[in-house]
Chain A
Amino acid sequence: MSEARRAIFAAIRERLARVDEAAADAAVRERLARPRAVLVPARARLEGEARIALFCAKAQAVGTEIVRIPDLAALRDAVSTSLRRHNLPSALVRAADPLLDAAALETEPLLEVRCDVPRETDAVGLTVALAGIAETGTVLLASAPERPTLLAFLPETSLVVLPTVRIAGSYEEAWATLRGLAGWPPRSVNLITGPSRTGDIPPAIELGAHGPKRLIVFLLDRPS
């Protein structure tokens, strides 16, 4: 235990000069043991299609492209079509997520698919979101051995598959469903709302400052 640490804690306690330490300790324990939503905007309290519609509207408002597909079998075509529409090479690096394994992207003859951590030369990355948040059209990605974080940051185009059943109304709702997962939170949880952007060079907002220039979310209605 360092000298600096001791000094800082001593200074904090001296300045706070609390009278009832036991009560303070109890208050902190209680708060940490039972995290609960403080104030969730009414906007986030939607169900079913209305919630999906809000997710889409909010995501599109910040420049995210939405492609809705009925099932995993449709993903292959949807990805190819999106890449062609943007004149992108038919090559991508993807997460080893079981959902993507099941999509059998590799059977598409014109699509070159690698399952890997992205390299600097990879133009397109494909991964899976653990949740969507309708409130602001946000996707939640979580790192795992099968889902490298860099897939959504290094390539210029980021493709994300999000099953519609994983769309929550609010951040709190999304987090509450994930909190019980083993090892949660993982090393890196990324809440992504639109492509990378910067306003640092006037006059306009430019996309693709460091992260992806393009974010395409494939909304999947029936994951299996």
Chain B
Amino acid sequence: MEPTSLAFRERATRALADPVLSTALARLETGWQAARARAAADLPEFEALRDAAVAIRDHALAHLDFYLEAFERRFTERGGVVHWARDAAEARAIVLELCRAARARTVTKSKSMVAEEIGLNAFLEAHGLRVIETDLGEYIVQLAGEVPSHLVGPAVHMTRERIAELFAKAHGGPPKQDSAALVAEARRVLRQRYLEADVGITGANFLIAETGSIVTVTNEGNAELTQGLPKLHIAITGIEKVVPTVEDAFVLLRLLARSATGQEFSAYTTFLTGPKRPDERDGPEAMHLVLLDNGRTRMLGGPMRAMLRCIRCGACMNHCPVYLAAGGHAYGWVYPGPMGSVLTPHFVGIEKSWPLPNASTFCGRCEEVCPVRIPLPGLMRLWREEAHRRGLAPPAARFGLALWAFFARRPPLYRFATRIAVALLGAFGRRRGRFARLPFARGWTESRDFPAPEGSTFTAQWRARRGTGR
């Protein structure tokens, strides 16, 4: 997928003026945000589990090669086949080759962000395969010809009316009015697709080195039908997903659903260990796993390693004021929200995505709720610095920053200038106490007033108070 992150500003502006989107995004605040808070409060060990999760992920990443080797050994012993892909093109080619070898025509898919990352659907379709998404949100987005706008709820930006129209167009019949009827319709249609499918493709939330298992987590049960009905199961995920033992996975699983949707546990957590065994009467005859690097190894050295702890719960976006106003599509690539602002520059290059790490109020809520305590604002700041070093920011921003730096490096001058500015603004704004318009600050005053300063500057007050010992 070609990134359009450079257009963040325009897309976000359009999103802000879209009342349908605002209503849809507001549901995240009252829904998942509130539910996460309740779930965290209900489990006294929640914070301790977060610490334990950080330690598990850090340990696994620091020994990534060892754990991948152990995982591969066990997975292979159980009859699975591991394929290694350095980049998106290699991963796509492996999946296509496997589908061709199985003479596949129809592929069902259970939601995988890694598949989105490598643009798998479009590639398989271009090579004559019929690809059907089975996660309901992902299916809706596929019908609309869009991409997911959220890690957990791909179609959170859509209204029921829009979904009803899409279903009516795709399945025939008049648009249905209530969500139960729509879910029943999707169940009926997709059930046929599961049964027709030659290949089932899933992601994997975790890989377990101890047992050689892959773990899938869903609420709909679509991963189990996707991998359990066709003859061939292909799983695809990133190399960073490995954890040492089943016990380690349980720590992360206790946090995953609580952080994502506020559920204590998702409806279906499945550990898959190899294909159908002798005498078994169901299950896929072959199981393949594509492990993707795509730049993940580059993140291992240095501060970006923390980003590889991510378990894709989506809590950072559910709590981000920028995401909640702009929506996921504004981010212009696969991963939206704060985690996307850190990942996208890494995957597509900062020159194609520099607005993303800047699209933050740096309020820090993403870091506060991240189950694996990724310092998201800090990592975004690193990308900002990189963007600045490469001269990617627009001239006005660079000029403004240079101007500010000139004063900031000269404290007496800074104090003098701010004193004048505060006095002037204070004098002009005394009557109303705020400004509805200010030169050079239209972006601010367009949607809110700028408060007029009262009294003296911060540094002046600081000095005065310290002097009196307060």
Contacts and interface: CB of A to CB of B under 8 A. Distances in A.
B195 A120 contact: yes
Query: Interface size bucket, B side?
Result: 35 or more
Contact of B221 (A36, A170, A183, A211): A211
B239 A153 contact: no
B179 A172 contact: no
B166 to A, nearest CB: 11
Given A35-B210, A38-B248, A172-B247, A62 B267 contact: yes
Contacts of A84: none
Interface in B27-74: 27, 31, 43-45, 48-49, 52, 56, 59, 62-70
A38 B59 CA distance: 13
Contacts of A189: 213, 270-271, 273
Contacts of B44: 41-42
B222 interface: yes
Contact of A188 (B49, B65, B180, B270): B270
Nearest to B90: A4
Contact of B247 (A38, A138, A194, A210): A38
Contact of B86 (A8, A17, A37, A148): A8
Contacts, number: 250
Contacts of A4: 84-86, 90, 293
A50 B191 CA distance: 40
B276 interface: yes
A203 B228 CA distance: 30
Contacts of B24: 202
B169 interface: no
A137 B111 CA distance: 25
Contacts of A135: 264
Given A153-B228, A196-B268, A201 B183 contact: yes
Interface stretch (A20-28, A71-79, A101-109): A20-28
Nearest to A10: B297
Please indicate which of the listed interface residues A42, A43, A191, A212 has the most CB atoms of chain B within 10 Å of its own CB: A191
Nearest to A39: B52
A37 B154 CA distance: 34
8 contacts: A4-B85, A8-B293, A28-B67, A35-B246, A186-B277, A189-B270, A196-B219, A209-B220
Interface of A: 2, 4-5, 7-9, 11-18, 24-25, 27-28, 31-32, 35-39, 41-43, 58, 62, 117, 120, 135-136, 138, 143-145, 148-150, 153-154, 170-172, 175, 183, 185-204, 206, 208-212
